[in-house]
Chains A and B, each alone.
Chain A
Amino acid sequence: MDFDALMLSRMQFAFVIAFHILFPAFTIGLSAFLAVCEGLWLKTGREVFKQLYLHWIKIFALAFAMGVVSGVVMSYQFGTNWSVFSDRTGSVLGPLLGYEVLTAFFLEASFLGVMLFGWNKVGRKLHFAATVIVALGTSISAFWILSANSWMQTPQGFDIDPVTGNFFATSWVEVIFNASFPSRYAHMMLAAFITTAAVVLAAGAWQTVRGHKSEPTRWQMRMAAGTLAVLMPLQIWAGHWSGEVAHEHQPAKVAAMEGWCETLDVQGTILVAWPADNECGRAEITIPGTSPYLFNTDEPLRALSSFAEEDQPPLWLVFWSFRIMVGSGLAMLAFGVWGLFLWWRGRLDRPGLFHWLAIPGGSLGFIAVITGWIVAEVGRQPWTVYNVLRTVDSVSPVEAGQVALTLLIFMTVYAIIFTAGTIYMARIATRGFDDHPPDIDHGERRAPGSPLGAVDDPAQTPDDTIATV
């Protein structure tokens, strides 16, 4: 591997976007969860949903801030590290990102203030509206960014200027609703909801293990397990749909995902293979003859080695990421079904094996999201715009030293804020619910209505015995 500006820029982009995606994936789901909780509270008047709302909004505030600051970075990375890509694709992708800012970013950011600090300043219905608007904003944002990214996977509705070599749109409908967009948008939104459900379940399990039994703890586990059990099957379907589209438009990507070593009419499903490369004769465990059930095609199924060498994505990374993603998804499905079973048997709030496993299980959604994106984006290589613009032709004319330095800066900064943020979020998430919470409007603890309500006070943290200034 050659650590030139290209390789370093790819590493930097992979790093900053992988870090960033964790937070939108979580906040898209969490904002929807908060909207459901607040809606249920307004509708049923049951205190438990208000408690859930006021608990999770504190975590949401932290996660959202981390998503915002790491997201601002993304809007500049295209220019700093991928300036040729920006120049070439600006007239196509630029408007999509512009619409994202205009229709989503301002909406989220502005109403977040009302959501976090407006509890006592606006009426209940207006506050609920702010929550719903923030949740909607996150989905709209995902719409545009998935559209732009999907266009890079399945470019259409464009032409190329013969003088400058720049892309321009010939049909905006075709650009926005490109072939891979619907399936990938569904796949990503479901991933966000599932990721959040796994986290909520883990937090509930942790509280249960620590002996904090309470109505909200019970309800958050029920809601999370139910969400996993319902959405995971849908996600498997969306993932399959996405795979079919990829097979039609990006066969090399699917060849790398499947890891077939030779082109055949009927292929098996390789569960594991070592070493993960193109050569036949490696050690592998395969379920034979599965392809007719998975691929709706009469064509032979191509192995990666049948593509020109300069058009192949790296096999091992895509191959293993895909397996980790699928494995994480199946594990979350199991947690959902298992949780519902325990609920049915009335054992959901008795600490047991389920709870101990569900705690680390809270990371499964994030693992699936990251590995899923590796499949999608590394599988797209060696192109930035599939089959049209190569990655090697997209990079900025900056020196490798600068890119290495800034990569180091990002790694340091993100390591610090990730560690601190995770600790602060985990502290809140694992804290039990008080069955008789202080009156939030008049209590001594800061109410969410006061300007600092959402950011919580250390007096409530588990280690409040530590002297503070």
Chain B
Amino acid sequence: MDFLQLDLPLIWAVLIAVAIMMYVLLDGMDLGIGMLTAFAGDEDERNMMTATVEPVWDGNETWLVLGGGGLFAAFPLAYSILMPAFYLPVILMLAALIFRGVAFEFRHKAVRRPTRLFWNGAFYGGSFAAALCQGIILGGFIQGVTVEGRAFAGGALDWLTPFSLMVGFGVVAGYVLLGACWLVLKTEAELQAKARRWATLALVAVAIGFAAISLATLSIDPRVTERWGFSMTHLEPGKLLPLGLIPLAGLALTLALARDLVTGSAKAPDWRPYLLAAGIFLSGYLGLAVSLFPWLVPFAFTVHETAARDNALGFMLVGAAIMLPVILGYTAYVYSVFWGKVKPGDGYHSA
């Protein structure tokens, strides 16, 4: 195969973006459910909630490894600048994911009340902290990092700004929305009604949060505003109108989801809220891509400037071209094995 004709860095940028999107949609939902377990009525309900994702969370989290590993493999320079730049939030996120991950198992093992409470807390606390850190990292990424030569040259707390905190809470709200919508799909009766209420509240927060983040992003750098087709002085309808469809789609999906959540199962199928929530995330993600492309280390290095050698990208692309369809195939298979409502009897009984 002749790789010279392919724009390999661009292909890999898209692949990694897809991996991160998969992570957000799948593990974001796990983290959202994790946070919501803090509001479960009792231990049975909490166990029902975790049972909706227990067989799949591990695979879901693997997309994060593909995102991180893929960044190292395909864009080593970006990886080697961004990781030190977000040193503390990355490591806090990892620590939070450790607690969340083992708590899936450990909370069922704890026989004494204090330890069980500890692992329950580790589960929702870890989920919250991981989501918040991911949002803060995203916020720090959007606002750009200080670079000198080929290395990060900023301070240890550069990432900590009102903007990054705002994105942090936006991501938290978004994950809660995804998690609540998954619960609408996987549960029935009382818990499902609760999940609808949670989803409605989260949707309000998401609508406000995403809108605020979008507007703030426009003011981050003149190049971003330029990209969307306007600035302080002029307006380019030729750019703004087609691109404006993305936030409009997001708005339409938000309204559709609001309607579904209000009308309930009678009129809206249970699978639709999750899909609509995923659509809202997708619109936000596309908007972000429009704002930041081609920067991979905003606003210092582009996708092409940070890419690994073409022979490395080509070698990996062969593997990805074969393996990604296979992975998506068996992921779908595993989801289909565990398809359907989680029954109260499936939940965890306390002794």
Contact across chains for A102 and B77 when beta carbons are under 8 A apart: no
In the complex, chain A residues whose CB is within 8 Å of the CB of B105: 61-62, 65, 424, 455
Main secondary structure of the interface of A (DSSP, over half): helix
Give the CA-CA distance A66 to B88 in the complex, in Å.
22
Give the CA-CA distance A102 to B115 in the complex, in Å.
37
Contact across chains for A86 and B312 when beta carbons are under 8 A apart: no
Contact across chains for A110 and B76 when beta carbons are under 8 A apart: no
Contact across chains for B109 and A468 when beta carbons are under 8 A apart: no
Other-chain contact of A75, B72, B76, B151 (Cβ < 8 Å): B72
Main secondary structure of the interface of B (DSSP, over half): helix
Give the CA-CA distance A396 to B88 in the complex, in Å.
13
Contact A98-B73, Cβ < 8 Å, known A111-B330, A413-B98: yes
A402 within 8 A of B: yes
Contact across chains for B309 and A169 when beta carbons are under 8 A apart: yes
B63-117, CB < 8 A from A: 64-66, 68-77, 79-84, 87-88, 90-92, 94-95, 97-99, 101-102, 104-106, 108-113, 115-116
Contact string, A79-107, partner B, CB cutoff 8 A, digits 1/0? 11001101101111011011111110111
Contact across chains for A80 and B91 when beta carbons are under 8 A apart: yes
Contact A417-B102, Cβ < 8 Å, known A76-B94, A84-B151, A113-B56: yes
In the complex, chain B residues whose CB is within 8 Å of the CB of A466: 111-112
On chain A, the number of residues with a Cβ less than 8 Å from chain B's Cβ atoms is 84
Contact across chains for A109 and B102 when beta carbons are under 8 A apart: no
Q: What is the minimal beta-carbon distance from B123 to any residue of chain A, in angstroms?
A: 12
Q: What is the minimal beta-carbon distance from A4 to any residue of chain B, in angstroms?
A: 15
Find the residue from A79, A406, A455, A458 having the highest chain B CB count within 10 A.
Answer: A79
Contact across chains for B111 and A464 when beta carbons are under 8 A apart: yes
B245-297, CB < 8 A from A: none
Find the residue from B56, B62, B70, B119 having the highest chain A CB count within 10 A.
Answer: B62
Contact across chains for A83 and B91 when beta carbons are under 8 A apart: no
Q: Across the two chains, which residue of chain B brings its CB closest to A172? A: B315
A61-82, CB < 8 A from B: 61-62, 64-66, 68-73, 75-76, 78-80
Contact across chains for B319 and A90 when beta carbons are under 8 A apart: no
Q: What is the minimal beta-carbon distance from A110 to any residue of chain B, in angstroms?
A: 4
B51 within 8 A of A: yes
A168 within 8 A of B: yes
B134 within 8 A of A: no
Contact across chains for A69 and B72 when beta carbons are under 8 A apart: no
Q: Of the 9-residue stretches B161-169, B189-197, B342-350, which lies at the interface with chain A?
A: B342-350
Q: Across the two chains, which residue of chain B brings its CB closest to A413? A: B95
In the complex, chain A residues whose CB is within 8 Å of the CB of B74: 94, 98
Q: Of the 9-residue stretches A117-125, A321-329, A358-366, A383-391, which lies at the interface with chain B?
A: A117-125
Q: What is the minimal beta-carbon distance from B47 to any residue of chain A, in angstroms?
A: 7
In the complex, chain A residues whose CB is within 8 Å of the CB of B91: 76, 80, 406, 409-410
Q: Across the two chains, which residue of chain A brings its CB closest to B94? A: A73
Q: Across the two chains, which residue of chain B brings its CB closest to A455? A: B108
Contact string, B33-74, partner A, CB cutoff 8 A, digits 1/0? 000000000010001000100111011011011101111111
Other-chain contact of A97, B73, B88, B150, B346 (Cβ < 8 Å): B73
A114 within 8 A of B: yes
In the complex, chain B residues whose CB is within 8 Å of the CB of A409: 91-92, 95
A233 within 8 A of B: no
Contact string, A385-427, partner B, CB cutoff 8 A, digits 1/0? 0000000000011110110011001100100010011001001
Give the CA-CA distance A103 to B62 in the complex, in Å.
12
Contact across chains for A103 and B98 when beta carbons are under 8 A apart: no
Contact A421-B312, Cβ < 8 Å, known A75-B68, A87-B77: no
Q: What is the minimal beta-carbon distance from B98 to any residue of chain A, in angstroms?
A: 4
Contact across chains for A99 and B316 when beta carbons are under 8 A apart: yes
Contact across chains for B77 and A398 when beta carbons are under 8 A apart: no
Contact across chains for A113 and B312 when beta carbons are under 8 A apart: no
Contact A68-B101, Cβ < 8 Å, known A80-B90, A424-B106: yes
Contact A457-B113, Cβ < 8 Å, known A90-B308, A116-B55: no
A406-457, CB < 8 A from B: 406, 409-410, 413, 417, 420-421, 424, 427, 446, 450-452, 455-457
Give the CA-CA distance A83 to B334 in the complex, in Å.
36
Find the residue from A111, A409, A455, A461 having the highest chain B CB count within 10 A.
Answer: A455
Q: What is the minimal beta-carbon distance from B7 to any residue of chain A, in angstroms?
A: 17
B156 within 8 A of A: yes
Other-chain contact of A118, B92, B319, B324, B337 (Cβ < 8 Å): B337
Contact across chains for B311 and A168 when beta carbons are under 8 A apart: yes
Contact across chains for A79 and B79 when beta carbons are under 8 A apart: yes
Q: What is the minimal beta-carbon distance from B108 to any residue of chain A, in angstroms?
A: 4
In the complex, chain A residues whose CB is within 8 Å of the CB of B68: 72, 75-76, 79
Contact across chains for A86 and B80 when beta carbons are under 8 A apart: yes
Give the CA-CA distance A337 to B115 in the complex, in Å.
41
Contact across chains for B62 and A105 when beta carbons are under 8 A apart: yes
B152 within 8 A of A: yes
Contact across chains for A70 and B98 when beta carbons are under 8 A apart: yes
B18 within 8 A of A: no
A287 within 8 A of B: no
Give the CA-CA distance A466 to B110 in the complex, in Å.
11
Contact across chains for A452 and B316 when beta carbons are under 8 A apart: no
In the complex, chain A residues whose CB is within 8 Å of the CB of B315: 95, 169, 172
Given A105-B65, A467-B113, 12 additional A-B pairs, CB 8 A: A61-B105, A71-B65, A72-B61, A72-B64, A75-B65, A80-B90, A95-B312, A101-B65, A103-B319, A110-B58, A455-B108, A457-B351
Q: Would you mind naming 6 contact pairs between A and B with Cβ atoms under 8 Å apart?
A: A84-B80, A95-B319, A105-B62, A106-B327, A168-B309, A417-B99
Q: Which 7 A-B pairs have the closest CB atoms?
A: A90-B76, A79-B83, A94-B73, A113-B55, A83-B80, A69-B101, A87-B80
